[in-house]
Amino acid sequence: MTLMPGIEPPPDPPLDVLAPNPVPTDPSKRVYAYEVDRKEWVVRLVWDADDPELLEAECRAPLYGERLPKAEVPRFWAAVKEIVAPLGPLPVVAADPRPEPARRD
């Protein structure tokens, strides 16, 4: 009998707090998430084993068509830094890539 090496299993999540977050449309994906309620908004971290170098941080708030107020942005990043502190310093690849709302003059 000859055994052939298979594909390498995906890595484990980088943080212990990340829990499986199944994708209903693709059960083969291994996505993990973690949410922290911060009263006015929720910090959500998402990690996908198919793209292990990327850890997404989202600010979920009931703001429809608006951005998070500037005064809240430092509080959001402080919350994210607190959660990811065990990983050490991380590069920020992008932050709020949404374009500014169009002005109507």
Encode pLDDT of 44-101 as tens digits: 999 999 999 899 999 888 877 777 888 888 888 899 999 999 998 888 887 765 555 5
- Which residue range forms the structural domain that includes residue 73? 19-87
Residue 68 in domain: yes
DSSP the chain: --PPP-PPPPPPPSSTT-EE---TT-TT--EEEEEEE-SS-EEEEEEETTSTT-EEEEEE-S-SS-PPPTTTHHHHHHHHHHHHGGG-------S--PPPPPP--
Model pTM? 0.77
Residue 46 in domain: yes
Residue 103 in domain: no
**Count: domains in the chain:** 1
Q: Strand 31-37: give its sheet, edge to edge.
A: 19-20, 31-37, 42-48, 55-60
Residue 25 or 70, more confident: 25
* pLDDT score for 79: 92
Predicted confidence band at 40 (pLDDT cuts at 50, 70, 90)?
A: confident
Residue 99 in domain: no
